[in-house]
Structure 1
Amino acid sequence: MLSSKEISMLIEATGTSVYMTLASTLMAYVIGLPIGILLVVCAPGGLKPKAVLYKILDFIVNITRSIPFLILMLLATPLARLVTGKSYGANATIISLTLAAAPFIARLVESSLLEVDKGVIEAAQSMGASIWQIVFKVLIGEARVSLIVGSTIALGTVLGYTAMSGAIGGGGLGDVAIRYGYSRWDTKILLATVVLLVILMQIIQIVGSRLSKKLDRRLTH
């Protein structure tokens, strides 16, 4: 049985993991969403092809996605220290999580927007819609279900990253699992963190699935 102190510690760690996941995913979307849109707009055959800009963004996204998360966290340590004053803990980890998730989100957004029927885009162009009207009213509007599914995937991925960040003092459930579960060979703490992470992942999946289905029904009516 877990002691009251251990339960309190796990509750606090769960809150920290949720905070890191939501904050870093939101910040990553602030960066990744416009990059994903630009990748679609500036691509060869896009709404406004710009080969140089497209190649630069594509290269940055590919390179950043190629770096393993733990290595990226170490590389981002100076930036995290500059922004938060620390190289460890939840707030510092959010900086690394954001950098890791942003290119992944950019690809998710790009993939979702590319699914939109080109006939719908051409119809909007023939009616005189501007590029940004097409982006926000047609591309994002038509792809909103796919974008919600993508955000669910992104949240789940970032939650997994938060667990891995515990290896270098990131805070949250991953930190508790490593410091108290693994290092002290406390099986009940280790299992408790796994169960809590699974529960959080299921909540993300359920909420994302219901929201996407609700939006899908709106599109079909």
Structure 2
Amino acid sequence: MADQAVRTGLTVITDQIRTQLIKVIDQTKKLRNYGSVFADPVDYISLGLNDYLEVIKRPMDLSTLRSNIMGAEYTYLHQFIKDADLIWSNCRVYNGVQSESFFLKAADECEKAFISLLCRIEQLQLTPEQHRIILQNPIPVISSDDEGPMSILQLHFLSKKLADLPREAQIQCVKWYYKQLGVNEDVDQYKDKDIRLVFKPSDSKVTRELDKLVTRKLDETRQLQKVTKV
């Protein structure tokens, strides 16, 4: 069972599977009485939850999960499943599992519905037991060398994320990229121009690392913007 769960967890998220996962998210959002609770990020500022980010280290919600899957943030099913679980587990951590609050009831009902919908996707052949095993056990890490070239969709979203970065962060990422490739490129020339990168299949390892760097920089930028608004 454990071996099969690992194999299922390592299912590559194809465009067809991505479409089905998006449907699962959208259907969970519509769950009567409870779906709306987790539809969007917790507005901890308006709610006066001043300690929220101290308690919850990695916030997650259905809209963010949807954006991530749309943006090809997940290569494997187990990555998607573990991020989705943060939605329910964060709720339980912040509210306390011993309480009988509406929010814990919402977490239980949404999680149950989400898993049920997920297990109905024929391409996955996922069972509730496999889902539990995937959550409770680390999945072997596949190195960038073994992952192969990024898909056209993944490269598209990498370019979009890079474009969303502040100019200084863009320059830093591009400098890092060319340095890893051993290319002597005058990156400063892009300060007043659009940055255009050409991705080659032979550079897939470096390209995947660039994607991680850009994602991290974008997360840092968004967190800084939230703090600034406060």
Shorter-chain TM-score bucket reads under 0.3
- Higher helix content, 1 or 2: 1
User: Greater relative contact order: 1 or 2 (C-alpha under 8 angstroms, separation 6 or more)?
Assistant: 1
The normalised TM-score by structure 1 is 0.25
